[in-house]
Each structure stands twice: as C-alpha cells, then as structure tokens.
Amino acid sequence: MRMRPTLSWTPTEDLRPGTTDPEPVAEALRAGGVLVLSGAGLSTESGIPDYRGEGGSLRRHTPMTYQQFTAGPQARRRYWARSHLGWRTFGRARPNAGHRAVAAFERRGLLAGVITQNVDGLHQAAGSEAVVELHGSLDRVVCLSCGDRTARHALARRLEEANADFEPVAAGLNPDGDADLTDEQVGDFRVMPCSQCGGVLKPDVVFFGEAVPPQRVEHCRELVGAATSLLVLGSSLTVMSGLRFVRQAARAGKPVLIVNRDPTRGDALAAARIALPLGTTLTAVADRLAAPAGDRPTT
C-alpha cells in the first residue's frame, strides 16, 4: 500500500501570533540544558528547499515511499537516477549562519544536544558534535540484504562510471536530495548492487512509510527528559516524527520555544514562536549571549 506523506495540517483552535522578539530563546540558552530539534527550514539558507514552507517541494513532488522503493527494480532505478543527480548539488551544500550559531551554542556548553530531522549533515559540518540524526543521513548507503554500510561518495563514483552519459537537466531539488526528473530522463539508468553481497542498496535514511528505529526514538526521548527546555528550529512539526518530542516536553512542563516564520503544529504547546528568519535570528542571539551583561539589548 502506498503511503502519501502528510502535506499539511489544519489548526483546530486559534493560535496566538508569533513574536519578533528573540529574547525568550536567549533566556533559555542562558539557563543551559537546551535541546535543539531542527527541521528542513534550517537548511533553506544553504540552498536546500524545505517540504512545506513557501515554495516547499511537496507542492510539486511526492517523495518515494519505502514500500515503493522495495517493490521493484523500476522504482529503484527512478529513485537512484534522481538521487544521483541531486547528490551532485546536495553533497556540495555548506552550513549557513543558523547551523554555525547552533554549533557555537554547543561549544559554550549551553545545549543538551541536537536532534535533527534533516539528512544533510550540515550540523556536523558546522562543528556540532552531539547530533542525533533522527531520519539518518544521505552521506551513507546501506544494503538491505547484508546490512553493510558504506560512504555515499563511493557509490557516487560507481554510478558515475556506470552512467557516463547521464547528464539530464533537473527541474528542481528536494529536501531528500531527489532531483525532479521525468521517466524519459531517467531512461535506462544503471543501478549498482551492494559490492559485498549483490543486494539492494538504499540511502541510510528513513523513507516516508518507514519507521524510525525504536532505539533511536528512545534515545531522543531520553534527551528530552534530561533537557531543561526544547528549542525547535525550522520545523512545521506536521508529522509525528518531531511533534512527539514537543508533546513530551510540554507534558513534563519544560518550555518549548519555536523559531519558524510560519505557524506550526506545535504552536499551541509552545511558550513562544519567534516568527523571524533563522540565520539572522540565531546569529543575533549568539551575539547577544557573547556580549557583556551591561551591553545586552533589552528588546
């Protein structure tokens, strides 16, 4: 059965408007023990589109589900052709000011950790170390038969060699690294098997229709339990994957702060939503925390 990703949510109650004052975020960070939960909106300033924001990819593109991917070779040919082309751009993405600010918070000992819903590795590239990749990472590949994990760049070389004439022009890039291609552009793209056992290779990410490994979810729940507050960055919280941690924090009486320009599914549980761009806002907060007490702005 094909599982269509959740495209949107409709508020069942009136939500208070977002604020443009980032001081609640600064206050939480001063107290320390903040757990960051980041979503696709944090990476848009690095050139990677989000799913549901203005111009989000779900308006034109439905990601392949796990059930489709495992159903047959034609679906995998379509996926790997699109993903291989997308990787040429996705793999060159660099951290933006938002990622760098989060890494700075960690270096100052203000964070309890980072849970990211993103698969781009940009938190680590910016210098963050205590990162849980909730949905995995595109820079790894796993064999569905033997479980062998390899680096994505090794597979990219094999795909380049096997498809030397593959040079289509994509209509766009998606948050999962997929490039938009027609079936005609996919053509007879050659898919590579596992070099160890000949099995089916899959990016080491959680597809739509696939469950996050239970031990990973439990680890994230433990992080929420140990944190003093939860800071959500660039996530609409439309799907339960991230929303469950907001609900857990709220039930435990821990402050939830959200930085997202658009309303989110977690707004009703949040102490505040700061409706400002992520990069400039987090940089300003980092600067505010670094300033001597007498020099800190009051608004």
Query: b or e along 287-298 (b: 16 or more beta carbons within 10 Å of the residue's beta carbon)?
Result: ebbeeeeeeeee
Give the whole-angstrom CA distance, residue 44 versus residue 259: 14
Give the whole-angstrom CA distance, residue 249 versus residue 110: 18
Give the whole-angstrom CA distance, residue 1 versus residue 68: 9
Q: Beta strands 111-116 and 131-133: pairing type?
A: parallel
* Residues flagged as binding site for NAD(+): 39-59, 117-120, 234-236, 278
* Residues flagged as binding site for Zn(2+): 143, 146, 194, 197
Q: Is 37 left (phi over 0), alpha (psi -120 to 50) or beta?
A: beta
Residue 123: active-site member: no
Secondary structure of 125-172 as H, E, C letters? HHCCCCEEECCEEEEEEEECCCCCEEEHHHHHHHHHHHCCCCCCCCCC
CA nearest neighbour of 233 among 16, 26, 40? 40
> Is the CB of residue 286 less than 8 Å from the CB of residue 260?
no
> Is the CB of residue 149 less than 8 Å from the CB of residue 37?
no
Maximum alpha-carbon separation in the chain = 66
Residue among 99, 123, 135, 153 flagged as catalytic: 135
CA nearest neighbour of 259 among 268, 250, 247, 267? 267
Give the whole-angstrom CA distance, residue 123 versus residue 139: 13
Q: Which residues are catalytic?
A: 135
